[in-house]
Amino acid sequence: MGISSQVHGIAWSLSYSDAHSSDGDEENDEPHSDKVVTLSLSVALSHLLPGSYAGYTLTSSRHSADSQMVSLNGTMLDNHALSYAVSQTLDQQNGHSGSLTASYSSGRGDLNLGYSRDSQATRLNYGASGGILIHRHGVVFTPEMNGAVVLIDAGGAGGVTLANQRTIATNRDGYAVLPFATAYHRNDVALDSHSLPENVDLANSTVTRVPTKDAVVLARFHTHVGYKALFTLQSQGQPLPFGSEVHAKDTSSIVASEGQVYLAGLAPKGTLYAQWGPGPQQHCTARYDLTPTLAQTPHPLILQQTLTCPF
C-alpha cells in the first residue's frame, strides 16, 4: 500500500509492503516476513536546468540493509534530442554503485552511451543505429527503418523539419526520410513552415501517401528557393490589369489590385513576363534587379520594387 502527492513541483510517494515467504522445507516450513518501507522524492529543476528532474529514494527493510539512491535525469538540445540519466546508490550491504547513460536521437541516426560501476566491476557500453537510403538523386542517412518508409523531397530546401517529427530534418540537398509509415493507410507528411529558411517559400505543406508493405514512397513538396518580392507593375503609366499572369524563371503568380504581384523563388536579377490577353498590346516585359536593396538589407523578408513594363 502507499500514498503519493505533488506540491509545487515536488512529487513524493511513501509505500509499505509486507512480503511472506517460506524456506521450502516441508518438515520445517516456517514462514518469513519482510517489511519494506520506501520513500521517493522527485523535484523538477526547470528553473536551473530546463527539462531535468532530481530524485531521491530511500528503502528500509527489516531483514536487509537500508539503501539510498540519488538521481538526475532529463533532456537537452532542440526537440529534446539528447536525454541523460545519472544515479548514485549507497547500499549498507553492497557498498556504492553508480551509472551514467546518455542517448542522442537525430534524423540521421541514434547514438547511445552507458557507464556503470559497482564493487564488482566497471562497465562501459556504447552503440549506434540508423540506416542509409540510396535514391536516384543521392544518399540519405536515416534513423533505423522499419517497414514502409517515405522519402521526402523538399525541392532543395535544407534544414526543414517535419511538423510531427522535429528531430528529422532535410539534408543540404533537401531530402529526408520518415523511417516508419503505416502500410495500406493514409500517411500525412507535413513540413514545419516555421523551420523554413528565409529564402524558401512553400507551396504545399502536407503530402498524403498510401504505401504498400515495405515500400519506399516519394513525398514531393513544391518549394520556391530564392528571394521573395512584391512588385508593383505599371504599363503606360497605369497599373497592370487585375488577374494578369506574371511569369519568371521557375515561378509565376497573378496580379492583384493596383498592379501588385507577389513572387517567390527569385534570382537576384531576372526578367518578368506579364500577359492579360491575346492581343499584341496585352503583354509586356520588365527587368528587375534586387541587388541594390539586398546591399542595404542583407536578410529582408519581402523585397518591394516598382517596375515599368513596356510592350
Whether the predicted model's global pTM rises above the 0.75 cut:
no
Residue 119 and residue 22 share a domain: yes
Residue 100 and residue 19 share a domain: yes
Domain end call among 161, 191, 225? 225
Cα–Cα–Cα angle for 80, 81, 84, nearest 5°? 85
What is the pLDDT, as a whole number, of residue 43?
A: 92
Residue 205 and residue 91 share a domain: no
Q: Can you tell me which residue has the cell 540508423?
A: 130
Residue 7 and residue 125 share a domain: yes
Region at 147 (left for phi over 0; alpha for psi -120 to 50; beta for the rest) = left
What is the pLDDT, as a whole number, of residue 30?
A: 57
Residue 154 and residue 114 share a domain: no
Domain end call among 171, 195, 225? 225
CATH number (domain holding residue 282): 2.60.40.2070
Select from 253, 247, 249, 244 the least CA-distant residue to 269: 249
Residue 234 and residue 207 share a domain: no
H or E stretch at 142 = strand 138-142
The per-residue DSSP string of 79-100 comes to GG-EEEEEEEEEETTTEEEEEE
Residue 112 and residue 29 share a domain: yes
Residue 284 and residue 253 share a domain: yes
Q: Which residues neighbour 56 within 8 Å (Cβ) at sequence distance 6 or greater?
A: 40, 41, 68, 69, 70, 71
Residue 214 and residue 160 share a domain: yes
Cα Rg of the chain, angstroms? 32
Are 91 and 67 in contact, with CB atoms under 8 Å apart? yes
What is the pLDDT, as a whole number, of residue 297?
A: 78
Domain containing residue 276:
227-308
Task: Name the DSSP letter for residue 258.
Answer: G
Residue 269 and residue 294 share a domain: yes
Domain end call among 170, 193, 225? 225
Ranges of residues in the chain with a pLDDT under 70 are 19-33, 63, 298
Structural domain total, the chain: 3
What is the pLDDT, as a whole number, of residue 224?
A: 82
Residue 67 and residue 14 share a domain: yes
CATH number (domain holding residue 198): 2.60.40.2610
Residue 187 and residue 232 share a domain: no
CA distance 11 to 39: 11
* pLDDT tens sequence across 182-193: 999 999 999 998
Are 183 and 215 in contact, with CB atoms under 8 Å apart? yes
